[in-house]
Structure 1
Amino acid sequence: MKKIILCFFVFQSILVFCQNQSYYLEGTLAKSKIYMSINLFGSTTEEPNTNAIYFYQNSLKDIPLEGSFKNNEFTLTVKHNDTIREKFILKKVANNNFEGIWRDAKGKSFTVKLSPIDFTNYKSDLSENYIDEKLNLVKSKFLEFKKQKTTTYKNKVIEWYSEKHCNVLFFRLGDNFLENNKNKVNPVLEKIHIENILDQLNCSSSFEYNTGEGIAYETSLTFLNSNLLGFKTSMNWFCGGAYPDYTTRGFLIDLNTGKNYEIDDIIAFDKSVTTEKESGFDSYSKYRHDHFAPKLFSIVNAQQYFKKPKDNEEEPCDMTDLNRWDFLTWIYSEKGIEFTPSFPHAMKGSCEETFLVSFEKLKKYKNPKFKYSFN
């Protein structure tokens, strides 16, 4: 229910108490059901020494707070551009329960009562990095999907769904897919949809309230045959950081099993090919650096004839830098695999370029474990 790390330092006869502690709570603000996580850090002499997130069950959108813990009392505020919009004053009572009050900028005040969350009531098959943020388990329970439209791709029906609490549209396989395909793939697509929704609901800023639109998603299908489904999702987001950002991710899913392939499951430039899941990041990174990047670069360069900038040239978009080719974006398309070398954020707009490598050129590098032919 809580994690605690305690440390004591003696400096000039002054005892400083340090602690890292997390609480996961549910309860009521007036008549509204809310959920909250509180993180206590640093020493009790510092301020702020506490941050928190809370959300309403009927909204699920994160609202960040910051404040202090003194004399067994938390003071937590929602502050936008130095203006306090909300304030919680919470006192810890028996059994890690909390009681207190909430006030808004107009002086309106309500009672707050919170108790530890029993996470056995909230189950999910989310990916590990989403489960680590425990309040995602709570949000997952209250999602509500609604079919918005139907489209077709290569004469197959694609159904698009929205979710009640935010602006994230995503698809499922429609009626004229084989029943086995739908049974295997639609749960995978729903899981991806849920994780995109959670990203949106968690996209909170200290400047303004989360509207459920902080991330703009665009998903489109890129490949389909009797065995494989390819698609890409592009995202533009601003969640209160230094600047907006964007990225694209490609997917290739086995219609018969629901397996979501990584690029190293599909092509192998050396027998040492591996994925991060199989061997951990160090071995995976070594394969990408020693084999994947140089070989892929040579294939693309045979068509593009990249030139390394001269020492006296101010050319930031150096495509001959193999570091741009080891961890990059890939899209499985009808004509081949599209690769986009990676650049730092400040260079993305001017440097990013996508290169199509035909299936014909990739055939001899197909991973022996990938059981489908390139076409």
Structure 2
Amino acid sequence: MYKTSGLLLLLVAQAVLAAPQLLQGKVGQAAVVMELDIATDGQVEGRYFYRKHHRDIALSGQRQADGSLQLGENLRYDEQRNDITLRPQNGGWVGAWHGPKASKPVPVSLTPYAAAQWPASSDAALNPVRQRSGYDYLRMVDLPLKPGKRERVQGHTLQWWDEPVSKIRLFRVLDGYPQASLQRINQLLAERQWQEVASYFDCQLGGSRNSGADFEQTVTPHLLSNKLLSVSIFTSYYCGGAHPDFGDNPLTLEVASGKPLQLEDLLWAGKGKPQLARKANGERADYQYEESVLAPWLVNAMTRLHPAQIKPGNEDDCGYSDPQVWQFVSWYATPQGLYLGPSFARVARACEYPAWSVLPWSVVKQHPGARPDLLP
């Protein structure tokens, strides 16, 4: 019993040591928020932002034998440099910033930033951010959204909101639905906007170790019906990896409940009722349905519906007749039907998101998903 308890205490102690430290303080006279992750082997990874500018500065370095930290800023993977030296003091850290542009050392002082000290926000959409990452929350609570343009789309007034630093924008629906539905829909849209803002800053952090980053997003509302709201959120990005990339991560909601929908809620190509095993956190347990059932079915359906675009055996075509490209589709609802975008390996990414790959509602109704009541 003693050995087991000792092992548990050791594991707990290691977890505590490895947990990121959230800190607030100053570099010179400038207020900062910092996150430090000190591994049990002494390796340090972290980031911090100046409250005035909000953008991350990446930190990496090593804990020394005397407990002090030597950290470099935005280091490339083959660089070694000491820009900040910190030593522990009263549960926090003190030291100096002496980066390449410093004419003389600048004092640094940091103290633990407990959740009870965090500023409150009147924006309920920030609550998930607060629960997920105190560091992200403390940045975003100081980034109020700015009202953008208003427009009419499919009988609804949309108010766009812009986050000025990241340039991430998303709309809220002002009318055309019951008030309770509007509140739920707009809450989810607001939460999604902050999620995209967090992705922008994560991308910038990734690019800080390389040649910079780029993150541009286009939001297109495709359907605002009495049952469904569906929007495309298409992002082109470079976050310091080998190549730039792009992708669509649409959002489709049930209007009455504001609940996000899965493809199998609307379309089911399998036998019986839609049943896809999910883990406790909601993630799919496996993708056998997509591989064995959905992809072959979509090839047959799209070949029948769009024969001019799917040309098996043509060396110049994109290979839309290959079931593999239909296993993981990006999808959203339109007035005409379900848009289903195939996915390709990098060398053929230009083949993604063809304009023609729509499954008409008349076909979808012949293969309804778990929520046939939502089909038009």
TM-score range, shorter chain: 0.7 to 0.9
Residues 19-98 of structure 1: matches in 2 within 5 Å?
20=18, 22-41=20-39, 43=41, 49-71=43-65, 72-79=67-74, 87-95=83-91, 97-98=92-93
Instruction: Give CA-to-partner distance per residue, 1:88-144, whole Å, 9 cap, x none.
Output: 11112333x111111232324322111222135558767989955442232343230
Whole-angstrom CA distance in 2 between matches of 1:58 and 1:106: 19
- Say which SS state the counterpart of residue 5 (structure 1) adopts: helix
Whole-angstrom CA distance in 1 between matches of 2:258 and 2:282: 23
Q: Is the counterpart of residue 325 in structure 1 residue 315 in structure 2?
A: no
Q: Displacement of 1:228 after TM fit?
A: 2.1
Q: Which amino acid aligns with 1:359?
A: W
- Say which SS state the counterpart of residue 202 (structure 1) adopts: helix
Q: Is the counterpart of residue 349 in structure 1 residue 347 in structure 2?
A: no
Q: Is the counterpart of residue 118 in structure 1 residue 114 in structure 2?
A: yes
Aligned residue in 2 for 1:170: 170
Q: Is the 8 A contact 1:251 1:332 kept in 2?
A: no
Q: Is the 8 A contact 1:130 1:195 kept in 2?
A: no
Q: Is the 8 A contact 2:325 2:343 kept in 1?
A: yes
- Say which SS state the counterpart of residue 338 (structure 1) adopts: strand
Q: Is the 8 A contact 1:63 1:209 kept in 2?
A: no
Cα distance change of structure 1 residues 283 and 198 upon mapping to structure 2, 3 Å threshold: closer
- Once the two structures are overlaid, the 10-residue window that deviates more, 21-30 or 272-281, is 272-281
Whole-angstrom CA distance in 2 between matches of 1:347 and 1:333: 26
Q: Which amino acid aligns with 2:304?
A: A
Cα distance change of structure 1 residues 280 and 152 upon mapping to structure 2, 3 Å threshold: closer
- Say which SS state the counterpart of residue 167 (structure 1) adopts: coil
Aligned residue in 2 for 1:12: none
Whole-angstrom CA distance in 2 between matches of 1:26 and 1:3: 25
Whole-angstrom CA distance in 1 between matches of 2:44 and 2:231: 41
1:106 to 101, 126, 131: 101
Q: Displacement of 1:294 after TM fit?
A: 2.2
Q: Is the 8 A contact 1:99 1:113 kept in 2?
A: yes
Q: Is the 8 A contact 1:4 1:22 kept in 2?
A: no
Q: Displacement of 1:235 after TM fit?
A: 0.4
Q: Which amino acid aligns with 1:357?
A: L
Whole-angstrom CA distance in 2 between matches of 1:179 and 1:282: 33
Q: Is the 8 A contact 2:125 2:194 kept in 1?
A: no
Cα distance change of structure 1 residues 104 and 279 upon mapping to structure 2, 3 Å threshold: closer
Q: Displacement of 1:263 after TM fit?
A: 1.2
Whole-angstrom CA distance in 2 between matches of 1:356 and 1:77: 50
Whole-angstrom CA distance in 2 between matches of 1:85 and 1:352: 44
- Once the two structures are overlaid, the 10-residue window that deviates more, 217-226 or 300-309, is 300-309
- Say which SS state the counterpart of residue 63 (structure 2) adopts: strand
Cα distance change of structure 1 residues 294 and 217 upon mapping to structure 2, 3 Å threshold: same
- Say which SS state the counterpart of residue 366 (structure 2) adopts: helix
Instruction: Give CA-to-partner distance per residue, 1:227-246, whole Å, 9 cap, x none.
Output: 32221111001121111110
Whole-angstrom CA distance in 1 between matches of 2:81 and 2:285: 49
1:287 to 286, 289, 311: 289
Q: Displacement of 1:180 after TM fit?
A: 2.8
Q: Displacement of 1:84 after TM fit?
A: 8.6
Q: Is the 8 A contact 2:57 2:74 kept in 1?
A: no
If each structure's strand is expressed as a fraction of its own residues, which one has the higher value?
A: 1
1:274 to 273, 276, 290: 276
Whole-angstrom CA distance in 2 between matches of 1:93 and 1:209: 36
Aligned residue in 1 for 2:340: 339
**TM-score, normalised on structure 2?**
0.81
- Once the two structures are overlaid, the 10-residue window that deviates more, 196-205 or 299-308, is 299-308
Residues 226-237 of structure 1: matches in 2 within 5 Å?
226-237=226-237
Whole-angstrom CA distance in 2 between matches of 1:293 and 1:129: 35
Q: Which amino acid aligns with 1:291?
A: V
Whole-angstrom CA distance in 1 between matches of 2:262 and 2:126: 18
Q: Which amino acid aligns with 2:346?
A: H
- Say which SS state the counterpart of residue 261 (structure 1) adopts: coil
Cα distance change of structure 1 residues 351 and 254 upon mapping to structure 2, 3 Å threshold: closer
Cα distance change of structure 1 residues 117 and 111 upon mapping to structure 2, 3 Å threshold: same
Q: Which amino acid aligns with 2:107?
A: T
Q: Which amino acid aligns with 1:33?
A: A
Cα distance change of structure 1 residues 160 and 207 upon mapping to structure 2, 3 Å threshold: same
* % identical aligned pairs: 18
Cα distance change of structure 1 residues 129 and 301 upon mapping to structure 2, 3 Å threshold: farther
- Say which SS state the counterpart of residue 39 (structure 1) adopts: strand
- Say which SS state the counterpart of residue 296 (structure 1) adopts: helix
Q: Displacement of 1:161 after TM fit?
A: 0.8
- Say which SS state the counterpart of residue 259 (structure 1) adopts: coil
- Once the two structures are overlaid, the 10-residue window that deviates more, 55-64 or 273-282, is 273-282
Q: Displacement of 1:39 after TM fit?
A: 2.3
For structure 1, the residue ranges without an aligned partner over 5 or more in a row are 7-18
Aligned residue in 2 for 1:363: 365
Q: Is the 8 A contact 2:98 2:106 kept in 1?
A: yes
Aligned residue in 2 for 1:179: 179
Q: Displacement of 1:174 after TM fit?
A: 2.3
Q: Is the 8 A contact 1:143 1:163 kept in 2?
A: yes
Whole-angstrom CA distance in 1 between matches of 2:298 and 2:130: 32
Aligned residue in 2 for 1:10: none
Q: Is the 8 A contact 2:344 2:351 kept in 1?
A: no
